[in-house]
Amino acid sequence: MLRATMSTIPLTLQSSQSLKHLFSLSHFQKPLIHSFNQPKKLTTFTRRLFSIKPISVSSPIRTYVDEKIDPTYLSCSMSHKNPLKVAVLVSGGVDSSVALRLLHAAGHSCTAFYLKIWFQEDFENFWSECPWEDDLKYAKAVCDQVDVPLEVVHLTDEYWNNVVSYIIEEYKCGRTPNPDVLCNTRIKFGAFMDAISGMEFDFVASGHYAKIVHASTDHLDEPSILELSKDMVKDQTYFLSHLSQAQLKRLIFPLGCIPKDEVRMLAKSFNLPNQDRKDSQGICFLGKIKFSEFVARHIGESEGVILEAESGDYLGNHRGFWFYTIGQRQGLRLPGGPWYVVEKDIKNNVVYVSRNYFSVDKKRRLFRVGSLKWLSGLPPRQISQLQCKVRHGPGFYNCSLAMEVDEHGQEVAVVRISEDDQGLAAGQFAAFYNGRTCIGSGVILESWDDQGYPICERALEIARMEDKSKLGKPVKIMVKPEQSFATI
């Protein structure tokens, strides 16, 4: 078990108005947020920082030797600047460790920070399943190689209030949120920046695959720009697309100029103790627990019916609509497929499915996006020849935007993409680009051109039935004709 000496640092709010909204969920305009418990005012909090004593790890650690590094590897580490005071977020993984070493090699004064974002004690948790102890051991070992101090910051309450609770509420409303975008905006570069605001750091750095271009000292009033990383597969600008300009101006991403395979090579050349660790997957606070199990614990289960969208046939039962997302195929357990979730009736707890999800007559090129955030602080002047990502990955669509105002007086973008997309899901983020520059993002409001997958009248009538036990047993699902023909 780790032992630490504890000091208490009072939390002071940022003076910048642009950061205050990060600690309230109200900036996600209705109808994205309905009933929601507001987080406690941060002025009532104190932030605990732990100074971790040296920890032994199984991997051998050699004394750091300041070897000559190819200058191209330092091109995203602001090596041309006078030595900077940099707060570096470390996770115990390879990426953040290499980022730390590059900043150190560039001559900057670094302090490493590990964010502790586990559950509140009021909620059942799975600490025994989370590998945080190993993460912290590796982070400490990496820091010890170059005598960089390591602090552990408690942001448990902030993470619960601003990320986990939001995820739960979105699932209750039938949407599919993206916790990674929220964690970056509200925790890593929100609550954490606030916690260290009195420590006079010049910049905050992390191991994200993205590139930031800051204005020159002669034009400091110009905005900082978020650009695609050199590694298009690992690029993480999608997850960073909802940051504010105030946040962007304070960030450094040393890995934005380096492909992933060369990051691994650098880890070996630095002889990092975690050089062979696999990249982390999933949401950190869950550890090995499946997200569906977490949802079941905190939302519960409520049996409902599964109906075929085209016929209204009763096909089976489900555990609750919040376990399913538009386009989902896994977990339906229906024969004669493949079946896909095409729509959800939140009021009546009904899941509609179809085997015609990829039908050409059901176009998916038009959708609406709300809760817009533009990285420059201003809406783009050009809205006709842009690119769009609707999920993390190297794929883009050409797109155009049409701006309108919704019934709540909030700006909404109507997005038209160049190709059909079968995986659009309300609650996910759409990030917009002008060439290699990420210009902002928003939350997808609807998934279909007509704001709803076409559901037959019989299915709608069954969904409105109060006593669905009268439906009897599910129908026997017939194999689709083309499948039957293919097996002859």
Would you name the residues annotated as active-site residues? 183, 284
CA distances 17 to 13, 41, 46, 419, Å, are 10, 15, 21, 39
Phi first, then psi: what are they for 430, rounded to 5°? -115, 120
**Token code pair at residue 440:** 């902002």
Please give the Cα distance from 274 to 143 (Å, whole number).
Answer: 12
Please give the Cα distance from 214 to 217 (Å, whole number).
Answer: 9
CA distances 123 to 119, 279, 294, Å, are 7, 28, 11
Name the nearest CA neighbour of 424 among 457, 397, 460.
397
**C-beta separation of 273 from 59 below 8 A:** yes
What DSSP assignment string belongs to 312-339?
Answer: --EEEEES-GGG--TT--TT---SSS--
Name the nearest CA neighbour of 288 among 280, 296, 297.
280
H/E run at residue 444: strand 437-444
**Token code pair at residue 183:** 């964690």
The 150-154 sheet, strands edge to edge: 4-10, 46-52, 150-154, 109-116, 85-89, 203-205, 251-252
List of E strands, 53-185: 85-89, 109-116, 150-154
